Amino acid sequence: MIRIGIYGYGNLGRGVEHAVRRSQDCELKAVFTRRDPASVKIATQGVPVYKADEAAAHKDEIDVLILCGGSANDLPVQTPEMAKYFNVIDSFDTHAKIPEHFANVDAAAKAAGKVGIISVGWDPGLFSLLRLYTNAVLPDGSDYTFWGKGVSQGHSDAVRRVEGVKDARQYTIPVESALERVRSGENPVLTTREKHTREVFVVAEEGADKAVIEEKIKTMPNYFSDYDTTVHFISEEEMKRDHAGIPHGGFVIRSGEVGDGTNKAVIEFSLKLDSNPEFTSSVLLAFARAAYKLNAEGVTGCKTIFDIAPAYLIDRTGEDTRAHLL
Amino acid sequence: MIRIGIYGYGNLGRGVEHAVRRSQDCELKAVFTRRDPASVKIATQGVPVYKADEAAAHKDEIDVLILCGGSANDLPVQTPEMAKYFNVIDSFDTHAKIPEHFANVDAAAKAAGKVGIISVGWDPGLFSLLRLYTNAVLPDGSDYTFWGKGVSQGHSDAVRRVEGVKDARQYTIPVESALERVRSGENPVLTTREKHTREVFVVAEEGADKAVIEEKIKTMPNYFSDYDTTVHFISEEEMKRDHAGIPHGGFVIRSGEVGDGTNKAVIEFSLKLDSNPEFTSSVLLAFARAAYKLNAEGVTGCKTIFDIAPAYLIDRTGEDTRAHLL
């Protein structure tokens, strides 16, 4: 059994806990939290909850530690620090800072003889994998990534900071006609506005000026000004009833030429997820399995999904996968 | 430059030749044919065409030999034989015989210190990869593979053997309503008839009884009797004008549970190919690159796409792919 630790017990940590329960070859050994452990009730009976700053003391009890914190402040510090003691997995998703994060985790993991796999999830993650595979097989072509329909936490938070807004939920929606143009093999050049629309559901404070709120949202730079945005005002009850989930998904499409250029190929990958964090957690656990196997073979240092042969991700033998999945 | 040899110069071999021309890091060194080399005109100037049985003499001029023969009779013999002299790639697609073929290529390649990657293409190939990745991240779910719309060579050949048939082309077509049920997350159990329909275009011999031909096709065991089949009689001119291409494609979908089972995830991968052999060739070349890199690292023996880390497939550095594709 691969002994798994969870570091950070929010939506992602709870998702990893469920993913472990769905596996045959992994067991949950401990949860680490920055909150008071006594206040954290987990779903798995008999598994201890420890304070995060005591994690190092448990290094011999855990094969892979899955880091479930945020990319902005948690992971840049936590992943390299924990790589001193554990094989680690994270879902670091600040694309621009991946090279720096990679270097930090690589140095720590190599020094400790551990494996760290960073930026695991679906984007970065499965979407990145598809971008690499499709670029490798279609070198002459164009890449397209569409996100949604799904909840953007960052955009929802930005709306919540608008004066007079009590609660908000923002959905990113791919434009169907743009998707169809890409699927046709036309290789269009698409502007930001042409690819996605944004739909916002707002619970306004009592007496707030809704017209002003709507105007502030629609003109917000970086977040909304480059998009066609629709704003709906709803009640607190409607927000709870209709917008409690965290769905997401999206599309990676590469369209290119083959042969002498007469013929085209269009490759499309898509996800439709009822729960963004629960799916991300499932991906994290598969790569935790890979980290364990790689480290057992003597591999150390930082890796990304590009470096992991698919066979390492699954709890089945080569004979079995060749006979049944190939 | 990675020195590529092509063994067998039909549709697939010509496709590999074009794929090499689209790459920056590969060059075509030789084509091997069972025909008279003087009768084979290839698209690349200055590249020699040799007799297939002289291939071994050129082992030091070629880094990877791409085998472009058929799975029924050619590859079971050719791939293990050529693995004695070259790193080899093939598109062996007889699913049931993969374990045996793997063992034969593994023994030959290990003895020679070479790498052989078998069953490369899109099914087996990219579709298999997607089955593995999606099973790894969604252990509790159902797999679906749909093929088409595309030309099935085997079914076209079967129709051509019917008395009174001069020429024929068979298209396999996925049933849209079945695809929609799968995409909805319903996880339906689908019969053969519910998943695909078959459409056949026939040029009949002069004076042949079309009703008899149609009946023979529709009731042909294994090929058509389990499907709803439509038969169209067309002229030779229409066949040439409208059915000269070899398009294909299909869908791999896995739909499963995450978290505590309340939430679902649906993962879909699809291909839309104007030319089945030209796309397959592009995949073969990407894995030829991987075979070369792996062998340069000292790896030997038979591998499948499950054993190859994605980074090996692309002509870009780790720094570059992490910065731009991750």
Under DSSP, is residue A156 helix (H, G, I), strand (E, B) or coil? Answer: helix
Residues A31, A9 contacting (CB under 8 angstroms): yes
Contacts of B301 in chain A (CB under 8 A): none
Residues A265, A282 contacting (CB under 8 angstroms): no
When pLDDT is cut at 50, 70 and 90, the band that residue B314 belongs to is: very high
Which one-letter amino acid corresponds to residue B176?
E
Q: What is the enclosing helix (H) or strand (E) of A169?
A: strand A165-174
When pLDDT is cut at 50, 70 and 90, the band that residue B11 belongs to is: very high
CA-nearest residue to B100 within chain A is A323
When pLDDT is cut at 50, 70 and 90, the band that residue B31 belongs to is: very high
CA-nearest residue to B102 within chain A is A322
Report the residue from A98, A135, A289 with minimal CB separation from B326: A98
Residues B118, B92 contacting (CB under 8 angstroms): yes
**How confident is the prediction for chain B on average, in pLDDT?**
97
Which one-letter amino acid corresponds to residue A191?
T
Interface ipTM: 0.97
Give the list of residues 6+ apart from residue B197 with CB closer than 8 angstroms, or none: B173, B175, B227, B228, B229, B230
CB-CB neighbours of A30 under 10 Å: 20
> Rounded to a whole number, what is the distance in Å from the CA of A186 to chain B's nearest CA?
13
Geometric angle at alpha carbon A90, from A85 and A95, rounded to 5°: 130
Burial grade of B318 (CB within 10 A; 0-12, 13-18, 19 or more): middle
CB contact under 8 A, B265 and A271: yes
Contacts of B273 in chain A (CB under 8 A): 258, 263, 265-266
CB contact under 8 A, A139 and B23: yes
CA-nearest residue to B126 within chain A is A133
CB contact under 8 A, A137 and B270: no
> Rounded to a whole number, what is the distance in Å from the CA of B215 to chain A's nearest CA?
35
Whether the link from the prior residue into B264 is cis, omega within 30° of 0, is: no
The mean pLDDT value for B99-112 works out to 98
> Rounded to a whole number, what is the distance in Å from the CA of A55 to chain B's nearest CA?
25
Query: What's the first-to-final CA gap in chain A, in angstroms?
Result: 26
The mean pLDDT value for B91-102 works out to 95
Contacts of B270 in chain A (CB under 8 A): 267-269
When pLDDT is cut at 50, 70 and 90, the band that residue B80 belongs to is: very high
Tokens encoding B200: 């056949």
> Rounded to a whole number, what is the distance in Å from the CA of B139 to chain A's nearest CA?
7
> Rounded to a whole number, what is the distance in Å from the CA of A122 to chain B's nearest CA?
10
Which one-letter amino acid corresponds to residue A27?
E
pLDDT by 10s per residue, chain A, length 326: 999 999 999 999 999 999 999 999 999 999 999 999 999 999 999 999 999 999 999 999 999 999 999 999 999 999 999 999 999 999 999 989 999 999 999 999 999 999 999 999 999 999 999 999 999 999 999 999 999 999 999 999 999 999 999 999 999 999 999 999 999 999 999 999 999 999 999 999 999 999 999 999 999 999 999 999 999 999 999 999 999 999 999 999 999 999 999 999 999 999 999 999 999 999 999 999 999 999 999 999 999 999 999 999 999 999 999 999 99
- CA atoms of B248 and B17, how far apart (whole Å): 20
Query: What's the first-to-final CA gap in chain B, in angstroms?
Result: 26
Q: Is the overall model pTM greater than 0.80, yes or no?
A: yes
Report the residue from B136, B183, B313 with minimal CB separation from A133: B313
CB contact under 8 A, A137 and B286: yes
Geometric angle at alpha carbon A64, from A58 and A69, rounded to 5°: 90
CA-nearest residue to B103 within chain A is A319
CB contact under 8 A, B258 and A278: yes
> Rounded to a whole number, what is the distance in Å from the CA of A217 to chain B's nearest CA?
30
Under DSSP, is residue A293 helix (H, G, I), strand (E, B) or coil? Answer: helix
- CA atoms of B209 and B211, how far apart (whole Å): 6
Burial grade of A319 (CB within 10 A; 0-12, 13-18, 19 or more): exposed
Residue corresponding to tokens 């592009």: B282
- CA atoms of B66 and B75, how far apart (whole Å): 11
CA-nearest residue to A273 within chain B is B265
Q: What is the pLDDT of residue A176?
A: 97
CB-CB neighbours of A28 under 10 Å: 23
Report the residue from B131, B136, B272 with minimal CB separation from A266: B272
Report the residue from A275, A308, A313 with minimal CB separation from B263: A275
CB contact under 8 A, A258 and B275: yes
Residues A27, A20 contacting (CB under 8 angstroms): yes
Gyration radius from chain B CA atoms: 22
Contacts of B318 in chain A (CB under 8 A): 306-307
Tokens encoding B122: 């899109």
> Rounded to a whole number, what is the distance in Å from the CA of A210 to chain B's nearest CA?
34
Give the list of residues 6+ apart from residue B317 with CB closer than 8 angstroms, or none: none
CB contact under 8 A, A259 and B278: yes
Instruction: Give tens-digit pLDDT for B46-56.
Output: 999 999 999 99
Mutate to test the interface with A, among B137, B282, B299 (most CBs of A within 10 A): B137
CB contact under 8 A, B314 and A183: no
Contacts of A258 in chain B (CB under 8 A): 15, 18-19, 273-275, 278-279, 281-282
- CA atoms of A214 and A18, how far apart (whole Å): 39
CA-nearest residue to B266 within chain A is A272
Q: Print the SS3 string covering chain B.
A: CEEEEEECCCHHHHHHHHHHHHCCCEEEEEEEECCCHHHCCCCCCCCCEEEHHHHHHHHHHCCEEEECCCCCCCHHHHHHHHCCCCEEECCCCCHHHHHHHHHHHHHHHHHHCCEEECCCCECCEHHHHHHHHHHHHCCCEEEEEEECCEECHHHHHHHHCCCCEEEEEEEEEECHHHHHHHHCCCCCCCCHHHHEEEEEEEEECCCCCHHHHHHHHHCCCCCCCCCEEEEEECCHHHHHHHCCCECEEEEEEEEEEECCCCEEEEEEEEEEECEHHHHHHHHHHHHHHHHHHHHHCCCCEEECHHHCCHHHHCCCCHHHHHHHCC
Residue corresponding to tokens 């031909």: B213
**DSSP H helical ranges for chain A:** 11-22, 75-82, 98-112, 126-137, 153-160, 176-183, 192-195, 210-218, 236-242, 276-296, 318-324
DSSP type of residue A55: G
Residues A147, A270 contacting (CB under 8 angstroms): no
CB contact under 8 A, A133 and B311: no
CB contact under 8 A, B271 and A262: no
Under DSSP, is residue A68 helix (H, G, I), strand (E, B) or coil? Answer: coil
CB contact under 8 A, A275 and B267: no
Geometric angle at alpha carbon A289, from A286 and A290, rounded to 5°: 95
A and B: number of Cβ contacts within 8 A: 221
Residues A198, A170 contacting (CB under 8 angstroms): yes
Tokens encoding A220: 């917000």
Whether the link from the prior residue into B124 is cis, omega within 30° of 0, is: yes
CB contact under 8 A, A275 and B269: no
Residues A64, A29 contacting (CB under 8 angstroms): no
Q: What is the pLDDT of residue A146?
A: 98
The mean pLDDT value for B247-264 works out to 97
Mutate to test the interface with B, among A26, A95, A133 (most CBs of B within 10 A): A133
